[in-house]
Structure 1
Amino acid sequence: MVSASSLLLPSSVRDLASCVSDGAVRVACTTPASTLVAASTAGSSSPATLSVAVTYRATPLSPSSPPLLLRLTWSHSPLGPPTLSFAGPAASSPAVLLRRRKGTRSLPSDDQQHPPLALFWDLTAAKYAAAASSPEPVSGFYFVAVANAEVVLAVGDLAAEFVKAKFEGQIPKARFLPVSRADRVVAAPNAMHSARVRFAEGAPEHEVSVGCSTTSGGSEELWVSVDGKRAVHTRRLRWNFRGNQTVFVDGAPVDVLWDLHGWWFREQPGCAVVMLRARSALESRLWLEEEAAAPGFALVVQAMKTPP
């Protein structure tokens, strides 16, 4: 099974543990939006989103079946509409590109620990946000995965209707929820990237925005906002290119970590990584073993100057 601590996140994010110490953690509450957000967004643009990868943890109803980590990746295609890839629970299983807009596919298991999967999807009527460049659809689609005669993943506004019609309501449904989201974007100067996420099961959905802007004096600033409220504001990024801060969302701690070293000091394409990850308790530490065993939801924004 894929390690829960890795969450199928980019290696650059996992390497943040060696760059940011727990002693540097600061705690702050989100404050009302100030002129920073207005000034940053006034002349900003939306970066081009190369891909959106969402990892789900499915807990089958059978107590003998282990949890499954399943990943969907939405990507732009240079030759046509966005594409969809799927990665199963086995660490050795490569991602499978679902080339057709609608279809079914069976994925056999490579070992006894993981069950074979049946995939069903339909993107023929998928709709995308008009003002965004994201390859992730917002409506008009479904993706369903079935294992051991049980729905282990159902994504899209048409998923429930498909399951009801396909299985006549006679198939059980596992408990599943997203545990990470990784957005890869190409960011122009003063660009801002936004994503809608839930940091905990049953919690409200929030719009998280990450932006980098240049002041009139030529200094670079990084800011992160939650629902338009400033949560993080870091100045002089060429000195403060790595760091972390703890904020509170819905009364619970969320760690914000950033690493902009690659953006400033490496050759093209140059990469900056910002991660927001929910923590199980204020007393815990992000990289302790017990926290990694049952990590909270993580949002990762990986920004590059040019396409890879």
Structure 2
Amino acid sequence: MVSASSLLLPSSVRDFASCIGDGAVRVADVAACTAPSSTRTSTCSASSTTASPTLSVTVSYRATLLLADGSSTPPPPLHLRLTWGHSPVGPTLSFAPSATARAIQLHRRRGSRSVPTRSGSGDEDGGGEPTTPSLALFWDLTAARYDPAGSPEPVCGYYVVAVASAEVVLAVGDLAAEFVKAKFEGQVPRARIAPVSRVERVVVSDPAAMHAARVRFAEGGPEHEVSVSCGSPGSGSGGGGDELWVCVDGKRAVQACRLRWNFRGNQTVFVDGAPVDVMWDLHGWWFRETPGCAVVMLRARSALESRLWLEEEAAAPGFSLIVQAFKTPP
């Protein structure tokens, strides 16, 4: 059985898939998806459905540094994590210097601090010595503007920047480039930075409520809107919530029926010509009173010819979007 809390970490992606299996993968093209009957439309419209309030948004990044001076071996990549959340006094931000490190709460709206970091290999091999120096973290949320829908992640007017080994290893926000240019006079090189996972935790009071997220499945690729909703066949209201819909750019990519029996499943769709695996686990939603969690994950494969969850695929997974929906706040 999958633990919903374990899905907060990208390393648990394989565990999620292992309970679903690799033998029942269905393949579909998003552009070719059509409804099986006239009572079911092939498009999704967020404007006609109530949005779900977002509890938190956690984005993990991988920063691949340049070659160290005088060394032929590149330093290990950094795995950094930002979590945007809510508090009684307003939106919050926390930062973690690795995939497993405890997050540091950034209480001030603007500031800087030094954060110690370790390499991924040092943690896994049991070596206690960090192989990368502390990173310098800078942030400014004083002019941040937020989506009226209630997401704690700002849409503009902010920056979060991290520098390690004389390289920019994190640059988030529309003001990040301007800050780096002013602070370092454009003399600091930038590591290769790529988001590797995005986890959105929402509270769903109405099963028919639609949650939408904007993501890029490939580095440098186009941005897509992914929406997830649940409802009864032929009905725009919540009802029994007997169907799950996953849509990409308003086109229905996945439609799972009879969820009380089909509460776990997976399907492969093609987005921008590349395979994206869609998995869902609704066991907690149907069979647990609290917090009643449903999990839907979309994960891009790193190669077209790869299969689900092989060792080489798990070692370098593609981008993942995970939506965790709760009946009540956990």
Could you tell me the TM-score, scaled by structure 1's length? 0.91
Deviation at 1:112, TM superposition (A): 2.2
Aligned-partner residue type, residue 157 of structure 1: D
Structure 1: runs of 5 or more not aligned: 1-5
Establish whether residue 54 from structure 1 lines up as the match of residue 59 from structure 2: yes
Superposed, 1:261-276 pairs within 5 Å as: 261-276=283-298
Cα distance in structure 2, aligned partners of 1:43 and 1:199: 26
Aligned residue in 2 for 1:151: 168
Question: Are 2:170 and 1:166 aligned?
Answer: no
Aligned partner of 1:108 among 116, 121, 126 = 116
Instruction: Give the C-alpha shift of residue 116 in structure 1.
Output: 0.5
Distance in 1 (CA, whole Å) between partners of 2:244 and 2:170 is 36
Residue identity in the other structure for 1:80: V
Map 1:37-186; keep pairs closer than 5 Å.
44-62=49-67, 63-77=73-87, 79-89=88-98, 91=100, 93-109=101-117, 111-130=129-148, 132-186=149-203
What SS does structure 2 have at the residue aligned with 1:258? strand
1:39 Cα deviation after fit: 7.8
Deviation at 1:288, TM superposition (A): 1.1
Alpha-carbon contact 1:150-1:174 (below 8 Å) kept: yes
Partner residue, 2:29: 29
**Residue 232 of structure 1 is aligned with which of 243, 250, 254?**
254
Q: Alpha-carbon deviation of 1:285?
A: 2.0
Distance of 1:205 and 1:90 partners within structure 2: 24
> Aligned letter for 1:82?
P
Residue by residue over 1:59-110, the C-alpha shift from the partner in whole angstroms, topping out at 9 and shown as x without a partner, is: 1112532111101100011x2121001010273x311010100000111346
Q: Aligned equivalents of 1:219 and 1:64: distance in 2?
A: 50
Contact (CA 8 Å) 1:90, 1:114: kept in 2 or not? no
Please tell me whether residue 9 in structure 1 is matched to residue 10 in structure 2.
yes
Show CA shifts across 1:147-182 (max 9, x none).
Answer: 011111100000001011111111111110101100
Query: How far is 1:9 from its partner?
Result: 3.5
Change (3 A) 1:107 1:239: same
Shift of 1:38: 6.1
User: Measured at CA, do residues 255 and 154 of structure 1 come closer, stay the same or move farther in structure 2, by a change above 3 Å?
Assistant: same
Paired residues, number: 299
Q: How far did residue 142 of structure 1 move? A: 0.1
Q: Give the percent of matched residue pairs that are identical in Structure 1 and Structure 2.
A: 70
Q: Greater CA deviation, 284-293 or 31-40?
A: 31-40
3-state SS of paired residue (1:100): coil
> 1:299: how far off?
0.3
- The verdict on how the C-alpha distance between 1:166 and 1:228 changes in structure 2, with shifts beyond 3 A counting, is same
Alignment-mate amino acid for residue 306 of structure 2: S
Instruction: Please list every run of 5 or more consecutive structure 2 residues that lacks an aligned counterpart in the other structure.
Output: 1-6, 68-72, 119-128
Structure 1 residues 7, 272: CA separation in 2 closer, same or farther (over 3 Å shift)? closer
Q: State the TM-score, normalized to the length of structure 2.
A: 0.85
